Structure 1
């Protein structure tokens, strides 16, 4: 597990610890930074973005964090609104 993730786990105090900012939950972990370049509309587009974020989480060691759940990615994708 990456040292940054280990230090983050040790410093965890409350659920807001993982947010990017007080008003932005992001992908459920402050270390996940995959941008949403285009709003996914179809299930296939959402699956592609899910895979991209999941790969980043795996590469960075986020999946090993006991506070992280990949369902956070699903929640973001479900709540994306088309303006």
Structure 2
């Protein structure tokens, strides 16, 4: 696990620690920054975006964080576009 992820996981004191900012949850981890260029509508579009975010999480070592669940990505995709 990368040192930045280890340090972040050790300093986590609440679930809001993982947010991008106090008002933005993001992908469930402050280190995941894959942008949503277009709101995915179809299952195929959502799957493609899931793959991009999952790949970023794997590359950055986020998947090894004991506080991170890849289900966060699914939850964001389920709620995307709902205001």
The TM-score, its normalising length taken from structure 1, stands at 0.96
Gaps of 5+ in 2: none
CA distance in 1 between partners of 2:35 and 2:29 (Å): 13
Q: 1:82 to 1:23 in 2, by over 3 A?
A: closer
Aligned-pair CA distance for 1:82: 7.0
C-alpha RMSD of the superposition: 1.2
Aligned-pair CA distance for 1:10: 1.0
Gaps of 5+ in 1: none
Q: How many residues align?
A: 83
Stretches (4+) displaced over 4 A:
none
Q: Secondary structure at the match of 1:58?
A: helix
Q: Does 1:61 align with 2:61?
A: yes
The TM-score, its normalising length taken from structure 2, stands at 0.96
Task: After superposition, give the CA deviation of every residue in 1:24-60 in whole Å (9 maximum; x if it has no partner).
Answer: 1000000000000111000000000000000000000
CA distance in 2 between partners of 1:2 and 1:82 (Å): 34
Aligned-pair CA distance for 1:81: 1.2
CA distance in 1 between partners of 2:80 and 2:16 (Å): 20
